[in-house]
Amino acid sequence: MNPIKYFFKQSKYALNDFNQRIDSKGREYIKDSIRKAEIAKLSPDDSLVFEFQNKGKLIEIDDRNIQSYMISEFPQVIYPNWLYDLVNYGEPIVISQFIKPLDSQKALSGLRNRITNLSAQFYEKADKGKMHTIDLEQAIADARSIEDSIVRGVEKLYSMSMYLKLSQENTSKLIKSDKALKDLSYAKQIKLHQLVYKQKQGLETFLPNVTNAVGEEFYLTSSNVSSSLPFTTATLNDPDGIFYGITLGGEKIRFDRFSKASKNYNGIIFATSGAGKSFSAKLEAYRSLFRGINVYVIDPEGEFKTLCDYVGGTNIDINPESKTKVNPLQFFSSDTDTKEVMRTHLGVVKGLLKIWLSEDAYNRGIVSKAVNETYASKGILLDDPSTYSKKPPTISDLIKIFEKQGEEGKRIAVELLEYSHKGEMGDLYDNPSTDDVDFNSPMVVFNIQKVPDQEKQASIFYLSNFIWQKVLSNRNRKVLIIDEAHLLLKDESSANFMENLVRRGRKYNLGVISISQDVDDFLKSPQGSVIAKNADTALILAQKKQSIPSLVKAFDLSDVERDYITRLTKGQALFIKGNTHSHMFVYATPHERKLFSSNAEDLAKIDEQRKNGQ
Ligand SMILES: Nc1ncnc2c1ncn2[C@@H]1O[C@H](COP(=O)(O)OP(=O)(O)O)[C@@H](O)[C@H]1O
Ligand SMILES: [Mg+2]
């Protein structure tokens, strides 16, 4: 059976029953008599099975207080998508619209009647010498111009009924929302009426079988109707922004991560593998470079190398064989509030040990003591920032201090040997930093593709810290792109570090772009959820089915948006920046497409071109 027909049939059944029961007693209810199984199909979240109390001005259903409104007039001037503010209004608001085409003949005779009536009123007033006829004149002129466009076939006439519903958990919240809604409609010149003693009918206009139970309508021309559908996306067009893509309606999207309107400069990119996460991040990185924004990347797949070489950036290979070394214990900052940064740094070192050590061996007290003593043994003291630039300890130095911490310390030291030159990971971790790390270059990529998988989490952790310390030294605009960011959320200390980084970035003109394909893991983590919800931009590309519900919840997506993100193809996205939701395609030029591709052939071509100086 056609699922839509089925849906309607079911909801009719439910609603008939609903209507029958409504008038039976003072207390109105709809419940047991509806076959639960039917309801479950129709309304899996049980939203049709409720008891409610009609209180004239509002309706109480379980723990919700619901108030419905009717709109009787739109503003004089309607521009495309003018309803957007209402739809994206921060309160729990639902809108229902009923639009019916009117027969042109009937519409015309109605209009002519109206013109005759208005004209009669006008002459009556004019005869009596009354001056205030401007409203009437305007109404006559409006009606005549509509008549004209209908006669010429330019416009058709429609009847429109429009209702709003607010729902809150208690009356005091409802009163606040009610006031905010009234203020907004006043500002927007929308005539809004609370449905007094018609709340039940108001509520019915929102039920799935869509009955216009209130039945109030007003008339609009085709162009005004089309401007009043809230489904088009408002176009994001920051004048100083980078060109990011094209909306489904064909408009260009430009966005400025560092615009004054941004609440912070952070972003997240969520998608399943191969949907275009890295591609979109590269596109932003590349186009941001032209605007003088510095770009730092932690690149677990070695995907940014081609782009980095192309723009003349610094590609730093982090792997056991690489000549370039970064000492995870190194402290770099030269910022004025270095003490706090040093405290964070010591926290990161302790966090690294937590990741490395077995649960049995890890002892918070001993780790903390040993780390502090190790730095002190090199003359570096938390309380004295002038000592911070001294030569930092290495993993071997740390092990020596652990060996002095009794039996438990010795046990830790033994486990840590793996990370020193006596063990396998020494080439990766146990070295002083080499000084070929050029941070002045506009693009710096830490390529950790060849870091063994089990060490990727630790590497992303200490490298983000390293970049954090470096970025504090200037206030240039910069972005840090962390691919596979969910790895940082696996552990309490690295997750806290990341949340802190994201929170404090704005002060230093830093935007952190976290990329993840493990959307559920990301959103399940308390820190991850805070990071995602507070990010000023979210790029949601094609998803695995199971990630959709948590995304809908985290970003408060509408049903239309939920459907949309279920059907995305490569490069298509829902892009959220502040209040603007754009249905878009991340657009790259043919040349850029090769440059950003993760396809080996494309990359080889670009390398070739570069070598030939093209
Ligand atoms: N917006 C886009 N336009 C054109 N091609 C794209 C777009 N997004 C992704 N692709 C193609 O899809 C491939 C995989 O994208 P990628 O960003 O590497 O996926 P992932 O989400 O796994 O990081 C890219 O190599 C590129 O060829
Ligand atoms: Mg990728």
SS (H, E, C) 585-608: EECCCHHHHHHHCCCHHHHHHHHH
How many A from CA of 276 to the centre of ligand 1? 4
Give the number of the ligand closest to the Cα of residue 299: 2
Which atom belonging to ligand 1 lies closest to the Cα atom of 272? 21
Ligand 1 pocket test: which of 279, 301, 596 has the largest number of ligand atoms within 8 Å of its C-beta?
279
Determine the pLDDT at residue 209: 62
Residue 606's contacts (CB-CB under 8 Å, 6 or more residues apart) are: 306, 310, 594, 595
CB of residue 569 inside a 6 A radius of ligand 1: no
Q: What is the pTM of this model?
A: 0.65
The string of DSSP letters for 504-527 reads: HGGGGTEEEEEEES-HHHHHHSHH
CB of residue 515 inside a 6 A radius of ligand 1: no
CB of residue 336 inside a 6 A radius of ligand 1: no
Give the number of the ligand closest to the Cα of residue 282: 1
Q: Whose C-alpha lies nearest to ligand 1, atom 1? A: 571
CB of residue 496 inside a 6 A radius of ligand 1: no
How many C-beta atoms surround the C-beta of residue 589 within 10 A? Answer: 10
Contact present, 448 and 459 (Cβ < 8 Å): yes
Give the number of the ligand closest to the Cα of residue 483: 2
How many A from CA of 598 to the centre of ligand 1? 7
Residue 480's contacts (CB-CB under 8 Å, 6 or more residues apart) are: 296, 297, 298, 464, 467, 468, 471, 501, 505, 510, 511, 512, 513
Left (φ > 0), alpha (ψ -120 to 50) or beta: where does 584 sit?
Answer: beta
CB of residue 586 inside a 6 A radius of ligand 1: yes
> Which SS3 state, helix, strand or coil, does residue 473 take?
coil
CB of residue 285 inside a 6 A radius of ligand 1: no
Which atom belonging to ligand 1 lies closest to the Cα atom of 483? 23
First vs last C-alpha separation in the chain: 60
Give the number of the ligand closest to the Cα of residue 271: 1
Tokens of 556: 């408060």
How many A from CA of 269 to the centre of ligand 2? 10
Q: Whose C-alpha lies nearest to ligand 1, atom 15? A: 276
Give the number of the ligand closest to the Cα of residue 542: 1
In 3D space, the residue among 305, 344, 370 whose CA is nearest the CA of residue 494 turns out to be 344
> Which SS3 state, helix, strand or coil, does residue 244 take?
strand
Q: Whose C-alpha lies nearest to ligand 1, atom 20? A: 274
CB of residue 215 inside a 6 A radius of ligand 1: no
Which atom belonging to ligand 1 lies closest to the Cα atom of 597? 25
Residue 275's contacts (CB-CB under 8 Å, 6 or more residues apart) are: 541, 542, 543, 568, 570
- Torsion angle of the four alpha carbons 551, 555, 559, 560, in this order, in degrees rounded to the nearest 10: -100
Tokens of 80: 């495309």
Which atom belonging to ligand 1 lies closest to the Cα atom of 271? 21
How many A from CA of 301 to the centre of ligand 2? 7
Determine the pLDDT at residue 361: 93
b/e 492-512 (16+ beta carbons within 10 angstroms → b): ebbbbbbbebbebbbebbbbb
Determine the pLDDT at residue 8: 35
| Cα separation, 586 vs 541, whole angstroms | 10
CB of residue 570 inside a 6 A radius of ligand 1: yes
Residues, Cβ < 5 Å to ion ligand 2: 277-278
Give the number of the ligand closest to the Cα of residue 541: 1
Tokens 């829902």 identify what position? 574
CB of residue 420 inside a 6 A radius of ligand 1: no
| Cα separation, 421 vs 276, whole angstroms | 39
How many A from CA of 197 to the centre of ligand 2? 56
CB of residue 307 inside a 6 A radius of ligand 1: no
| Cα separation, 500 vs 488, whole angstroms | 12
Which atom belonging to ligand 1 lies closest to the Cα atom of 572? 1
Give the number of the ligand closest to the Cα of residue 300: 2
Q: Whose C-alpha lies nearest to ligand 1, atom 17? A: 276
How many A from CA of 122 to the centre of ligand 2? 69
Left (φ > 0), alpha (ψ -120 to 50) or beta: where does 443 sit?
Answer: beta
| Residue spans of the chain under pLDDT 50 | 1-50, 232-233
CB of residue 571 inside a 6 A radius of ligand 1: yes
Determine the pLDDT at residue 458: 94
Contact present, 528 and 492 (Cβ < 8 Å): no
The tally of CA atoms less than 13 A away on the side-chain side of residue 137 is 7
Which atom belonging to ligand 1 lies closest to the Cα atom of 571? 1
Sign of the four-CA dihedral 583, 264, 488, 474 = positive
In 293-363, where does DSSP find H-type helix?
Answer: 305-310, 338-356
CB of residue 603 inside a 6 A radius of ligand 1: no
In 3D space, the residue among 306, 237, 257 whose CA is nearest the CA of residue 449 turns out to be 306
How many A from CA of 598 to the centre of ligand 2? 8
